[in-house]
Amino acid sequence: MKSDVGLMRGLLRNVDRMFYDLYMVSKYFRSIFSLQMFLNLSATFCFGLGYCIYVYNSSLTEVIDMVFVVIYSAFPIIFIFGCDATRKETERVIATCRKIGEKFQDNPEIYREIQALACKMATLKHGFTASGFFPIRRSLLLSISGAIATYFLTFEQIWRKGEKKENSQTN
In the chain, domain spans: 2-170
| pLDDT of 145 higher than 80 | yes
| pLDDT of 133 higher than 80 | yes
Mean pLDDT of 141-157: 85
53 pLDDT tier (thresholds 50, 70, 90) = confident
pLDDT averaged over the chain? 80
Q: Say if pTM beats, i.e. exceeds, 0.75.
A: no
Looking at residue 56, its pLDDT comes to 73
**Which candidate, 3, 19, 17, places its Cα nearest to that of 107?**
3
Looking at residue 171, its pLDDT comes to 60
